[in-house]
């Protein structure tokens, strides 16, 4: 009943936002007759107002390591540029996009297919709790509503409408993220897709978007900014390791800013005093052990870290 839903909302700290409120996403107007009547929000006060500068990063639940890596790179890079990250909090690409935004102290928004009082999937309870602490968890359904298949499809239109652009990172031919892409295309939202190996069924949906639906090929955060019409702040060039263009001088701070997102996270997880194992560094950085090993190898070539008998340590400059 409505009274029960209101009580459950009060218990979990959710609030009701309606059209005309300062927090209401004005972009929902593009849905026309299909825009929601109200929105339940669980998170920081006025957090949903930040959706006006959000990018949707969506993709397959059964993501590959490549897909998760690209989701992490895009989310971290866009967060660093001041964009929020909107997604559906599912396993795979969605979850990685949210985690990467949180790891870079960015804003992230999770749209649920059920009430905001019952986090779904249950395995992402801790992740959604963190999102509610710094961003917002949103749903058009009242507290107590359970997620169903058609509600996931209904939820997808909100993700597409709320964001400035939609990027599909990895999707099979029957992935629900293609439904989000279809809503974005119908509303004229900029649509991007990340290509994958031509032999990968996990990227077949992305390849279809690129081939048949005029999606833009996305390989980096700067591609997303170009998709939005923003100047990415740097001229396109072919960079060769160890070679600088004429007149270009590289300072340590600039080199650090160009590091991949997982390298920055690994560097933050390494101590300058006590050695840490690869497994401990991976846990602290929130990435896989394999990713941590690759990042540590690259950082050791830069002399940013060094391996000792007891584990890895950061190299102190100077």
- What does the pLDDT profile of the chain (318 residues) look like in tens digits? 677 778 887 888 889 999 999 899 999 999 988 999 999 999 998 888 889 899 999 999 989 999 999 999 999 999 999 999 999 999 999 999 999 999 999 999 999 999 998 898 889 999 999 999 999 999 999 888 888 888 888 999 999 999 999 999 999 988 889 999 999 998 989 999 999 998 899 999 999 999 988 899 999 999 999 998 864 444 333 333 333 333 333 344 333 445 677 787 788 788 877 888 988 888 777 778 888 888 888 888 888 888 888 899 888 765
**Which is nearest to 263 in space by CA: 52, 73, 10?**
73
109's tokens: 């928004």
Q: Give the pLDDT score at 96.
A: 95
Where do the CATH 1.10.10.10 domains begin and end in the chain? 257-314
Output the pTM of the full model. 0.72
Question: CA-to-CA distance for 221 and 258, rounded, in angstroms?
Answer: 12
Where do the CATH 3.40.50.450 domains begin and end in the chain? 11-228
50's tokens: 């930040």
Question: CA-to-CA distance for 87 and 109, rounded, in angstroms?
Answer: 6
Q: Give the pLDDT score at 317.
A: 60
Question: CA-to-CA distance for 85 and 56, rounded, in angstroms?
Answer: 6
CATH 2.60.40.3080 describes domain 11-228: no
Q: Give the pLDDT score at 242.
A: 35
Q: Give the pLDDT score at 112.
A: 95
With a CB cutoff of 8 Å and minimum separation 6, the contacts of 149 are none
CA distances in angstroms from 262 to 61, 122, 143, 291, 292, listed in the order given: 21, 26, 36, 8, 8
181's tokens: 């892409």
With a CB cutoff of 8 Å and minimum separation 6, the contacts of 217 are 192, 193, 194, 195, 210, 223
* Distance, CA of 144 to chain centre: 27
Q: Give the pLDDT score at 174.
A: 85
With a CB cutoff of 8 Å and minimum separation 6, the contacts of 297 are none
Q: Give the pLDDT score at 243.
A: 35
Task: Return the number of other C-beta atoms located less than 10 Å from residue 126's C-beta.
Answer: 9
| CATH class of the region 257-314 | mainly alpha
Question: CA-to-CA distance for 48 and 162, rounded, in angstroms?
Answer: 10
Q: Give the pLDDT score at 258.
A: 52
C-alpha torsion sign, points 149, 50, 5, 120: positive
Q: Give the pLDDT score at 184.
A: 92
């Amino acid at each position: 009943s409505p009274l029960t839903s209101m009580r459950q909302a009060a218990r979990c700290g959710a609030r009701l936002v309606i059209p005309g409120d300062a927090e209401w996403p004005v972009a929902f107007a593009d849905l026309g007759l299909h825009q929601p009547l109200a929105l339940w929000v669980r998170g920081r006060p006025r957090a949903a107002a930040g959706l006006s500068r959000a990018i949707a990063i969506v993709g397959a639940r059964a993501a590959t390591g490549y897909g998760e890596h690209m989701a992490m790179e895009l989310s971290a890079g866009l967060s660093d540029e001041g964009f929020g990250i909107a997604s559906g909090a599912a396993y795979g690409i969605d979850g990685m996009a949210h985690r990467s935004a949180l790891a870079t102290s960015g804003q992230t928004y999770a749209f649920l297919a059920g009430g905001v009082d019952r986090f779904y999937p249950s395995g992402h309870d801790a992740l959604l709790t963190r999102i509610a602490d710094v961003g917002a968890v949103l749903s058009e359904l009242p507290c107590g509503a359970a997620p169903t298949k058609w509600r996931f499809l209904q939820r997808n239109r909100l993700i597409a409408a709320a964001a400035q652009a939609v990027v599909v990172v990895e999707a099979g031919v029957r992935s629900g993220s293609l439904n989000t892409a279809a809503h974005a295309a119908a509303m004229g939202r900029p649509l991007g897709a990340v290509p994958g190996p031509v032999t990968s069924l996990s990227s077949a949906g992305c390849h279809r978007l690129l081939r048949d639906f005029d999606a833009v090929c996305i390989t980096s955060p700067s591609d997303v900014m170009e998709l939005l019409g923003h100047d990415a702040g740097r001229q396109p060039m072919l960079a060769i390791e160890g070679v600088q263009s004429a007149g270009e001088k590289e300072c340590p701070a600039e080199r650090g800013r160009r590091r991949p997102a997982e390298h920055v996270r690994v560097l933050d997880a390494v101590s300058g005093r006590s050695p840490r194992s690869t497994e401990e560094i991976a846990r602290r950085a929130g990435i896989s052990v394999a990713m941590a090993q690759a990042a540590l190898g690259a950082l050791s070539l830069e002399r940013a870290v060094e391996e000792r008998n007891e584990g890895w340590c950061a190299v102190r400059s100077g």
